[in-house]
Amino acid sequence: MNDQGPLRLAQREHPAIGVVLLSELVRDLGYDPVPALRAEGLPAGDELRPTNLIEASRELGYILRILGDVPIPELGLLAGRRHHFSVFGMWGFAMISSSTLRSAIQVGLRFIDLTHTFLRWHFIGKTGAPRMRLEEPVDLGPARRFLIERDLTAAVTLLEDLLGHRRGLVRLSLPYESPSYRESYSEIFSCELEFGADRTEVLLAPDTLDATPLQANPTAAALAEQQCNELASRMAGPGSTTRAVRHELLAVPGEFPPLAEVARRLHVSERGLRRRLAAEKASFRMVLDQVRETLARAYLRDTRLQIEEIAERLGYSDAANFTHAFRRWTGSAPGRFRADTAYLSERTRS
pLDDT digits (tens, 9 = 90+) for 50-98: 878 888 888 999 999 999 999 999 999 999 999 999 999 899 999 999 9
- Asked if the model's pLDDT at residue 2 lies above 50, the reply is no
Residues near 344 by beta carbon (within 8 Å), at least 6 away in sequence? 64, 65, 67, 68
CA 294 from centre of chain: 15
> pLDDT at position 131, please?
95
Grade residue 1 by pLDDT with cuts at 50, 70 and 90: very low
Cα 66 from Cα 324, distance rounded (Å): 28
Count H helices, E strands: the chain? 17, 7
Q: Using one digit for the tens of pLDDT, what is the confidence trace for 89-114?
A: 899 999 999 999 999 999 999 999 88
Specify burial of residue 348 (Cβ count, 10 A radius: 0-12, 13-18, 19+): buried
- Asked if the model's pLDDT at residue 9 lies above 90, the reply is no
- Triad 273, 275, 277: Cα angle to 5°: 70
User: What percent of the chain is modeled with pLDDT above 90?
Assistant: 59
What pTM did the predictor assign?
0.73
- Decide if 295 contacts 7 (C-beta within 8 A): yes
Selection from 187, 192, 186, 188 nearest residue 205 by Cα: 192
Residues near 138 by beta carbon (within 8 Å), at least 6 away in sequence? 1, 2, 4, 5, 8, 9, 118
Q: Where in the chain is the domain with CATH 1.10.10.60?
A: 237-349
237-349, what's its fold? Answer: Arc Repressor Mutant, subunit A (1.10.10)
Please report which residue ranges of 190-305 form alpha helices under DSSP H. 218-236, 241-249, 259-265, 270-279, 284-302
Cα 120 from Cα 288, distance rounded (Å): 29
Element (H, E) at 173: strand 169-173
How far is residue 58 from each of residues 11, 86, 323, 327, 330, measured CA to CA in Å?
A: 11, 24, 20, 18, 13
Grade residue 348 by pLDDT with cuts at 50, 70 and 90: very low
The residue type found at 317 is: S
Could you tell me whether strands 53-55 and 120-124 are parallel, antiparallel, or unpaired per DSSP bridges?
A: unpaired
Q: DSSP for 268-293? A: S-HHHHHHHHHHTT--HHHHHHHHHH
Q: At how many degrees (to 10) do helices 270-279 and 241-249 cross? A: 120
Give phi and psi for 117, each to the nearest 5.
Answer: -70, 145
- Decide if 140 contacts 118 (C-beta within 8 A): yes
How far is residue 154 from each of residues 79, 158, 254, measured CA to CA in Å?
A: 8, 6, 37
How far is residue 152 from each of residues 127, 135, 345, measured CA to CA in Å?
A: 23, 12, 22
Average pLDDT score over residue span 259-285: 88
Give phi and psi for 89, each to the nearest 5.
Answer: 65, -135
> pLDDT at position 233, please?
67
What residues pair up with 169 in beta bridges, in sequence order? 204
Residues near 245 by beta carbon (within 8 Å), at least 6 away in sequence? 262, 266, 273, 277, 284, 287
- Asked if the model's pLDDT at residue 252 lies above 80, the reply is no
Specify burial of residue 252 (Cβ count, 10 A radius: 0-12, 13-18, 19+): exposed
